[in-house]
Amino acid sequence: MPIKRRITNWTVLTLAFTSGFIIMSIELLGGRVLAPYFGSSIYVWGSIITVFMVALSFGYLIGGHLSLQTPRLSKYGFFFVAAAITAVPTILFGDALMDWVFLRFEDPRYGSLLAAMLLFFVPTAILGMIAPYSVRLLVEETHESGRVAGGLYFISTLGSALGTLLTSFYFVLLFEINEILVTMVIALVCCFLIAIVVDRKVETKLGPKV
């Protein structure tokens, strides 16, 4: 495997791992964010998981479509910075927004569903776009596409597992929720920068010729 190819693949896998990590870390913190307004009942978790699943499924769909147009590592980086930017209002205006929802929805089930939707849908959907796009960047030959996709899911889901574990076992014990969220935003921006820099270095279009 040429060295440039190898660098690209490692970059994609590292970034996919990070995005898996961040998705689950944010999902776990989501429960904490909603609890002061909607409680920590089972339906609050139901709302969060639903919103994340729906957001991810649309993310996969859109990410897959976007991967059709001249896929490139630099474009890949924009998913990360877009997720970072759309997560900022969640941190800054989360309370105001939940207050607004709380006043309008008496039933905490629909209140928490709407609040989770408004707070987490967009950044999560964007993070979801990363997975299919990663596959596109990694696949060179059709016959290996299954293996590549398997490897990618392996890495990103391991990232999710680690994000879940570290957040729930240690981060919440050491930091405030917003400190963790801001760190995630910074990590996403770093991912963006890495993608841009590596893209510059490699300077080749990736994947099979379309």
Helix (H) or strand (E) holding 65: helix 42-66
210 binds another protein (CB under 8 A): no
Burial of 200 (0-12, 13-18, 19+ CB in 10 A): exposed
Single out the residue of 4, 5, 32, 75 in contact with another protein (rule: CB under 8 A). Answer: 32
- How many of the chain's residues bind another protein (CB under 8 A)? 20
Residue 165 CB, nearest distance to another protein (Å)?
13
- Secondary structure class of 111 (helix, strand, coil): helix
Asked if 204 is part of the footprint of another protein (rule: CB under 8 A), the reply reads no
Selected range binding another protein among 6-14, 37-45, 129-137, 191-199, rule: CB under 8 A: 37-45
Task: Answer yes or no whether residue 40 interacts with another protein by CB under 8 A.
Answer: yes
Q: Considering the rule CB under 8 A, would residue 109 count as an interface residue with another protein?
A: no
The candidate with the shortest Cα–Cα distance to 169, out of 24, 61, 35, is 24
CA distance 18 to 39: 30
- Rounded to 5 degrees, what are φ and ψ at 79? -60, -40
- Binding-site string for another protein from residue 2 to residue 31, where x marks contact by CB under 8 A and - marks none: ------------------------------
Binding of another protein by 173 (CB under 8 A): yes
Provide the angle, in degrees to the nearest 10, between the axes of the packed helices 177-202 and 73-104: 160
Closest CB to another protein among residues 68, 103: 103
Q: Out of 58, 60, 78, 175, point to the residue binding another protein (CB under 8 A).
A: 175
Distance CA 156, CA 113 (A): 26
**Which range binds another protein by CB under 8 A, 39-47, 63-71, 80-88, 196-204?**
39-47
Quick check: 88 binds another protein (CB under 8 A)?
Answer: no
Q: What share of the chain is helix, strand, coil (3-state, %, to 5)?
A: 85, 0, 15
Find the shortest distance in angstroms from Cβ 40 to another protein.
6
Helix orientation angle between 42-66 and 108-138, rounded to the nearest 10 degrees: 30
Judged by the rule CB under 8 A, the positions of this chain that interact with another protein are 32, 35-42, 102-103, 108, 169, 172-173, 175-179
